[in-house]
Amino acid sequence: MIVKARSPKIGEASIPEEELSFSFVRSSGPGGQNVNKTNSKAVLTWNVEESTSITASVKMRFKEAFANRVSDNGQIVIMSDETRDRAQNQQRCVDKLLDMLNSVWTPPKIRKPTKPTRSSQRKRMVAKKQRTEIKGSRGKVREW
């Protein structure tokens, strides 16, 4: 199975299943006494550093955006215990990872610095003068 991420701008990115590591533990979610018997919580581990399926620039943006979730050795751990079904929790982990990848897939737009127009500068100065006059008129009145 190859996990595919679809984004409207990029087409398709794929992560080979060999790069993903799943483990299952006992869930604290819904299920009553069944929770004590089954390991339905899915834990996905993926090494961002060693991944061959994404480019270096995407890796860099991923590590910057999710710095608090990526460990020192480049691994990210994603957990899901939202449902009672192991397969659904596994799919939700994959969906979360793909959402994270899609959010950093396209590079951010570079801001082009602009200058304010002459009319906007003029309006700003007029507004400042009006405000100065209003505040100046609030002072104490002197009697001569």
> Could you tell me the domains of the chain?
2-105 (3.30.160.20)
User: What is the reported pTM?
Assistant: 0.67
d(CA 88, CA 26): 15
End-to-end CA distance of the chain: 92
By the 8 A CB rule, do 19 and 46 touch? yes
For 20-35, letters b (16+ CB in 10 Å) and e give beeeeeebeeebeeeb
d(CA 27, CA 35): 6
Residue pLDDT tens, the chain, 144 long: 445 544 433 445 678 888 888 988 887 756 667 667 778 889 999 999 888 888 899 999 999 999 899 988 889 999 998 888 889 999 999 899 988 888 888 888 999 999 999 999 999 999 999 999 999 888 877 777
- Which tokens in the block code for residue 77? 């751990």
